Structure 1
Amino acid sequence: MTELVVTLDLDGVTDKAGLMDRCARALRLPGWFGRNWDALSDSLRDRTVWPEDAAERGLLLVVRGWRPYATARPEEWRTAQEVFTEAVDRTPALSVALALGGSSQ
């Protein structure tokens, strides 16, 4: 069985709040998701809140359209990358890939 692929499209995201909203939507996180770095880290590592079938199959999160956000908010983007990296390091069933192409539009 292949891992579940989820696209996190950051096209048009200009701040942390927008990033958190996109993460919540893409990953279908519960309403209690705190929309902060710690909550994102916890959610990425907690397979019980992953989309259906991802816990069994594994999860590949493909981040698209991230370059404008990274340029506009470099410190926030560094923090996001640290959160992604830590989650991957602690969760063998999780992979995060930064797409080099454009957004889905």
Structure 2
Amino acid sequence: MSNWWNDSTDQVTVCSRSAHVELAAVLPAAGRFVVARLDGTRMTDADHAFYEFSDALLFPGYFGWNWNALSECLRDLSWLAADGYLIVVENAPRLLPDSAEDRRTLFQVLAHAVQHRVSPFGQPRFKVLLVCDRDDEAALLRAEVADAVRRAR
């Protein structure tokens, strides 16, 4: 992960805690960056997921509390002016445990936000890192994310 920010082509990256990802390896050397940490265990349903994203990224009052509104806000973020954005979701396998459809939708929304915020020069300006406790969880979640991204195209 020496130059993950510029080298990673993954729209949403999944890794286990054993990867020991250091923030310095994740962000570029220069610029202003917003890093938002969220906890998957707190996102038990869609409403809680909307709240966690809204709280972590200081969404404006007009946020509509639905998937389309989440997508729009993640693609805008004008109220948090920065050169780049990193969203880290801890305990990612535990988010939205009772709705595979909502999980798939969230992964699609995140992938679209990553795609939307690529600079005109092809440099990423938005990254998502989903952190798992174990390697086997990471492998399963990686497959689930890949499926959601594939369906989003």
Q: Answer yes or no: is 1:56 the counterpart of 2:86.
A: no
Residue correspondence of structure 1 range 63-74 to structure 2 within 5 A:
63-74=89-100
Identity level (%): 33
Superimposed CA distance per residue, residues 60-87 of structure 1 (whole angstroms, 9 cap, x where no aligned partner): 0111223123432211000000000011
Partner of 1:95: 127
Could you say which structure has the larger radius of gyration?
Answer: 2
**C-alpha distance in structure 2 between counterparts of 1:31 and 1:56, whole Å:** 20
**C-alpha distance in structure 2 between counterparts of 1:101 and 1:28, whole Å:** 27
The 3 A distance-change label for structure 1 pair 49 and 38 is farther
Residue correspondence of structure 1 range 15-94 to structure 2 within 5 A:
15-50=45-80, 55-92=81-118, 93-94=125-126
**C-alpha distance in structure 2 between counterparts of 1:16 and 1:69, whole Å:** 9
Partner of 2:11: none
Q: 1:45 aligns to what SS in structure 2? A: helix
**C-alpha distance in structure 1 between counterparts of 2:77 and 2:59, whole Å:** 11
Q: Contact (CA 8 Å) 2:87, 2:128: kept in 1 or not?
A: yes
Q: Contact (CA 8 Å) 1:43, 1:49: kept in 2 or not?
A: no
Letter in 2 for 1:94: F
User: Aligned-residue CA RMSD in angstroms?
Assistant: 1.8
For structure 2, the residue ranges without an aligned partner over 5 or more in a row are 1-29, 119-124, 135-153
The TM-score with structure 2 as length reference comes to 0.58
Q: 2:53 aligns to what SS in structure 1? A: helix
For structure 1, the residue ranges without an aligned partner over 5 or more in a row are none
**C-alpha distance in structure 2 between counterparts of 1:41 and 1:99, whole Å:** 21
**C-alpha distance in structure 1 between counterparts of 2:82 and 2:44, whole Å:** 34
Q: What number of residue pairs does the alignment pair up?
A: 98
